[in-house]
Amino acid sequence: MISGKILSTEKEIVDFATVYLKGTSYGGTTNQEGIYHIKAPAGNYTLVVSAIGYKTVEKQVKLIAGERVKQNLTITPETQQLDEVTIVSTGVTRLKRSAFNAVAVDTRELQNTTKNLSEALQKLPGMKLRESGGVGSDMQLMLDGFSGNMSKCLSMVYLRKGQGKLLTSIIFQ
């Protein structure tokens, strides 16, 4: 068995580096502490260590039956200079994302009428309200088919005085 630790020239741990015996199927990767373990039969091998952003290192090792070989290695960072970067676009797409939808309802038609808030909210897209009785009775709210225990709903209603608008924000969790 051969094991060891892989460090960079800056004395930093190199985790998830590839370590293998050249010309064989024996190998593995370093763990988060930069340590590797390879089990292989006795013989002479070339130990290869490679990692992204580092130069590949090769080291001759001799494995003896029944003995454990410890081989720590230091690898050098490799920087690459890019000559030119070309960015190609096939089109522009604009995405609008929001944590919640805000819908504005014009309430000018509700002024000086007997319509109530439930009648105003029924105009919102995907919203249905069902009352179980007369005025002041229980109301069942359904948004896009979700109701009751299927969703948690927080509704915030803003009435802007003089502007004739009802803003409601409905948030699902």
- Residue-wise pLDDT for 40-97, tens only, equals 999 999 999 999 889 999 999 999 999 999 999 999 998 877 778 787 777 776 666 6
More confident residue, 33 or 141: 33
Contact 8, 74 (CB under 8 A): yes
DSSP-derived 3-state class of residue 141: strand
pLDDT value of position 87: 78
Pick the most confident of 38-47, 84-93, 103-112, 122-131: 38-47
pTM for this entry = 0.48
Alpha helical stretches, state H, 46-146: 117-121
pLDDT value of position 104: 64
DSSP-derived 3-state class of residue 156: strand
What is the average per-residue pLDDT within 2-24? 94
pLDDT value of position 134: 66
| Whole-angstrom Cα Rg for the chain | 34
CA distance 164 to 158: 11
CA distance 136 to 116: 11
Q: At residue 3, what is the residue type? A: S
Percent of the chain with pLDDT over 70: 61
Instruction: Give residue 34's region: left, alpha or beta (phi > 0; psi -120 to 50).
Output: left
CA distance 48 to 123: 69
Q: At residue 39, what is the residue type? A: K
Q: For residue 170, is pLDDT > 50?
A: no
More confident residue, 32 or 147: 32
pLDDT value of position 13: 93
